[in-house]
């Protein structure tokens, strides 16, 4: 019923997929009542849905790093890819690998079985490996597009903002009252917790990026701040204190900061990190820098400065009895772990990364249900339905079947009929218990030819059928 429409002259809703078009028919698709009926249909589907779009670890990471993907890349021995995944969201991973209290591990699903996956140590392992390499990873920077940003404060927040802005072709000049960059990382954390050579190397990676310039030992006072505002297209205040020498108090009435966009009441000035409130976690400051960079970019491109678009996120919640075993079985099968490269130096890390239960969905970036939920601003909690059990079957060929995510559209059954061998797929059970099943007690690999399996993965609108 997600496709309901109203035909003029008939007050009821009809599903468009089951209604024949007729000469002169006038169809209403975007009336408020139609949209609200569609939203209700989606919310009903979500109320029984058994799946996490993103793993709990990623949701718990203030920088929203794609942790499960990093872990799969480590298992595959692809540290070169793992560092790219990490650095897409975290500008200073070797540093954070040493000082972050790892909120992601506190919410790791594996805690309920034995202990959390050592996410933070694995991130440190990859970042250290990369720092030691001759050609360490440096992200590609777009050519300079003519815009310039001044960043006041070269601590974790300012460095992160520069790191992400430079990649978009924004020229960034970082000002700091201290001679060296690093802020509280250098002047607030002892060497025992954070080795200076690691700090220096990682900061140097940022400062040597194209479009970034560092000017240390420069005090920005009220008059020089006003000059910056005139000379640069945008100014980002990341001073590590909400009271600045240049006479601005970021949280007071004279210069309000929108905590969602980091834009202040003077539209060309942005503020983040401790400049707008206490940041207990360094990763929070790094995340602020990344998110503020998105807003600054919107502003510089003349677009609306709006909060970074949050995707819909289905949550599995508490596991029922027996569901942990489903996750463990998937992990045991090496779910979504492509063939590994022989590299015994990384063996321990691979073994640890293999403990991941892959809580994230195989179709997280390509799920119609997720997209529709976002489009209609649907909530999962509107209807307190009984959710389906979480079941995960991984076939030898790498096909993953999770019936708890199935919306019973029947498309895979059609595909199987067209492309598969004699067995195919069918619906079994009734009412709430209806599900797609392989008849005759056979397994998926027996029911579907390779071609049929590929088509099913492609056509399934959710993560019910995916590929490992």
How would you classify the pairing of strands 399-401 and 465-467?
antiparallel
Residue 420 touches ligand SF4, criterion: CB under 6 A: no
Residue 436 touches ligand SF4, criterion: CB under 6 A: yes
Among 13, 55, 152, 237, binds ligand SF4 (CB under 6 A): 55
Rounded CA gap, 120 and 97, in Å?
A: 5
How would you classify the pairing of strands 234-237 and 426-428?
unpaired
Residue 206 touches ligand SF4, criterion: CB under 6 A: no
Q: Length of the chain in residues, anyone?
A: 468
Residue 51 touches ligand SF4, criterion: CB under 6 A: yes
Residue 465 touches ligand SF4, criterion: CB under 6 A: yes
List the interface residues with ligand SF4, window 373-412 (CB under 6 A): 405-412
Helix (H, G, I), strand (E, B) or coil at 249: strand
Contacts made by residues 432-441, CB under 8 angstroms, sequence distance 24+: 432/48, 432/386, 434/408, 435/403, 435/406, 435/408, 436/403, 436/406, 436/408, 436/412, 436/464
Sketch the per residue contact string, 213 through 252, with ligand SF4: x for CB under 6 A, - otherwise: ----------------------------------------
Residue closest to 319 by CA, chosen among 111, 143, 165, 158: 111
Instruction: Give the number of residues in contact with ligand SF4, rule: CB under 6 A.
Output: 42
Determine the Cα angle at 318 with ends 260 and 403, to 5°.
100
Residue 75 touches ligand SF4, criterion: CB under 6 A: no
Sketch the per residue contact string, 309 through 348, with ligand SF4: x for CB under 6 A, - otherwise: -----x----------------------------------
Smallest distance, ligand SF4 to C-beta of residue 194, A: 24
Nearer to ligand SF4, 59 or 184 (CB): 59
Rounded CA gap, 263 and 271, in Å?
A: 7
Rounded CA gap, 373 and 45, in Å?
A: 10
How would you classify the pairing of strands 171-176 and 13-15?
unpaired
Written as six digits, the tokens of 17 are 């997929």
Sketch the per residue contact string, 85 through 124, with ligand SF4: x for CB under 6 A, - otherwise: -----------------------xxx------x-x-----
Nearer to ligand SF4, 117 or 162 (CB): 117
Given the rule CB under 6 A, which residues bind ligand SF4? 49, 51-53, 55-57, 67-68, 108-110, 117, 119, 314, 356-361, 363-364, 367, 369-370, 405-412, 436, 459-465
């Amino acid at each position: 019923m997600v496709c309901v429409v109203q035909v003029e002259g008939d007050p009821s809703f009809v599903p468009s997929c089951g209604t024949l078009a007729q000469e002169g028919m006038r169809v209403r698709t975007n009336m408020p009542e139609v949209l609200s009926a569609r939203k209700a249909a989606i919310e009903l589907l979500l109320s029984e849905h058994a799946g996490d779009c993103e793993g709990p670890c990623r949701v718990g990471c203030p920088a929203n790093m794609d942790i499960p993907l990093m872990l799969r890349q480590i298992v595959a021995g692809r540290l070169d890819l793992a560092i790219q995944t990490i650095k897409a969201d975290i500008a200073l991973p070797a540093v954070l690998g040493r000082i972050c209290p790892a909120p992601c591990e506190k919410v790791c699903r594996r805690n309920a079985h034995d202990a959390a996956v050592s996410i933070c140590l694995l991130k440190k392992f990859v970042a250290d490996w990369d720092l030691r390499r001759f050609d360490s990873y440096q992200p590609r920077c777009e050519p300079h597009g003519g815009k310039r940003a001044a960043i006041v404060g070269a601590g974790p927040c300012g460095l992160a903002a520069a790191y992400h802005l430079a990649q978009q072709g924004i020229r960034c000049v970082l000002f700091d009252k201290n001679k060296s960059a690093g802020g509280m990382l250098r002047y607030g954390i002892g060497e025992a917790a954070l080795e200076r050579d690691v700090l220096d190397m990682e900061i140097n990676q940022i400062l040597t990026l194209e479009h970034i310039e560092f000017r240390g030992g420069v005090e920005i006072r009220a008059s020089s701040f006003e000059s910056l505002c005139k000379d640069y297209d945008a100014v980002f205040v990341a001073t590590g204190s909400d009271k600045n020498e240049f006479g601005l108090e970021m949280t007071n009435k004279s210069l309000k900061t929108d905590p969602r966009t980091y834009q202040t009441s003077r539209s060309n000035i942005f503020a983040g990190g401790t400049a707008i409130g206490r940041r207990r976690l360094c990763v929070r400051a790094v995340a602020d820098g990344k998110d503020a960079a998105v807003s600054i970019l919107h502003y510089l491109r003349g677009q609306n400065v709006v909060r970074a678009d949050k995707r819909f996120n289905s949550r599995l919640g508490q596991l029922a009895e027996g569901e942990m075993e489903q996750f463990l079985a998937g992990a045991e099968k090496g779910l979504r772990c492509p063939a590994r490269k022989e590299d015994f130096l990384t063996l321990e890390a691979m073994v640890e990364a293999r403990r991941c239960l892959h809580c994230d969905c195989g179709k997280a970036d390509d799920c119609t249900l997720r997209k529709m939920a976002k489009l209609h601003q649907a909530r999962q909690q509107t209807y307190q339905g009984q959710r389906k059990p979480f079941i995960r079957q991984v076939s030898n060929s790498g096909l993953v079947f999770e019936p708890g995510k199935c919306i019973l559209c029947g498309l895979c059954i059609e595909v199987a009929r067209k492309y598969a061998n004699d067995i195919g797929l069918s619906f079994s059970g009734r009412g709430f218990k209806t599900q797609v099943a392989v008849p005759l007690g056979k397994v998926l690999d027996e029911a579907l030819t390779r071609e049929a399996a590929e088509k099913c993965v492609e056509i399934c609108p959710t993560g019910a059928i995916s590929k490992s």
